[in-house]
Structure 1
């Protein structure tokens, strides 16, 4: 499989790039310590900045692999880390990946998640040989569903995460986009 690793993507309002040590303060402030973001995202709340530092170091060490895809979402206007977007699972044999993302509460409702997701989809399909990108959200998280739909993803019966576990989604809505 042809991998590119995490590369920089420039959009009109965002810079998507690798995480750097100096992201710690705004990452922690804007989303990693925010219960409503982390709980919806299915991740722990990093109350202490030292806890977030461990997470950040894990992200940064991941860049040693060209099959690691995790972007810091930087708002150009403020220069702050307002979220992240990543491939939480890569299925090399299928040339597929599962996308996850989060945007800090103070920055939601501005179209940032859709802008980041659309840019990642477009650029990953140009630079790699991924054939399919998947995502899912809890049924009650309708905002995430709108982001996925606006990014040209469409609903599908299942995603690889559940297939490999012999499960069918219960309370999750699955999406995908395929390279044509």
Structure 2
């Protein structure tokens, strides 16, 4: 049975994963939420104004009132900047699994930070939420995301062919999972 405890602070060597705050708006605009390349990989809209971002943060903050809501700002400890986000956006209480989504600004990619955040959230899911399985997916064109998934030890489960239509072409969606007893 899943234990719904909500979004709580998670600390890693280089990161702090915490609830979003309105003061994250400038970093979000600077590093990721206004970047069409980053946002298109997650089918999220591009935000260009502080007002739009603050409205989104408001939705996140109101979500924190629910014990089955899990969304973290990825904060780089060294600078205290919000460099991305990570969440359990799908929670299946009947079958004891959740699905992760994440994004990280392009300046911070290929440094192991997304892997560090993802491992921490997987651990949170297994140890704090009592999940049996964590799943994740990526678009076939998102090779950096595939590398994060592989480094975290996920097992490939299958491909949903031509799942997304992007920029005039179809793109596959690849699914992976990891079970509690497989996570090291």
Normalization by structure 2: what TM-score? 0.89
Q: CA RMSD in A?
A: 1.2
Structure 2: gaps (5+ residues): 163-171
Q: Note if contact 2:138-2:145 (Cα within 8 Å) is conserved in structure 1.
A: yes
Give 1:161's aligned residue.
none
Cα distance, 1:123 vs structure 2: 2.1
Deviations 1:34-90 (A, max 9, x none): 111111121000011211111111011100001000010000111100000001111
Structure 1: gaps (5+ residues): 159-167
Give 1:86's aligned residue.
87
* Partner secondary structure for residue 173 of structure 1: strand
Aligned length: 171
Give 1:101's aligned residue.
102
Give 2:63's aligned residue.
62
Task: Please identify which structure carries the higher strand content.
Answer: 2
Task: Please identify which structure carries the higher helix content.
Answer: 1
**Structure 2: how far apart are the matches of 1:136 and 1:81?**
23
Q: Note if contact 2:104-2:114 (Cα within 8 Å) is conserved in structure 1.
A: yes
Give 2:25's aligned residue.
24
Give 1:75's aligned residue.
76
* Partner secondary structure for residue 115 of structure 1: helix
Q: Note if contact 2:125-2:134 (Cα within 8 Å) is conserved in structure 1.
A: no
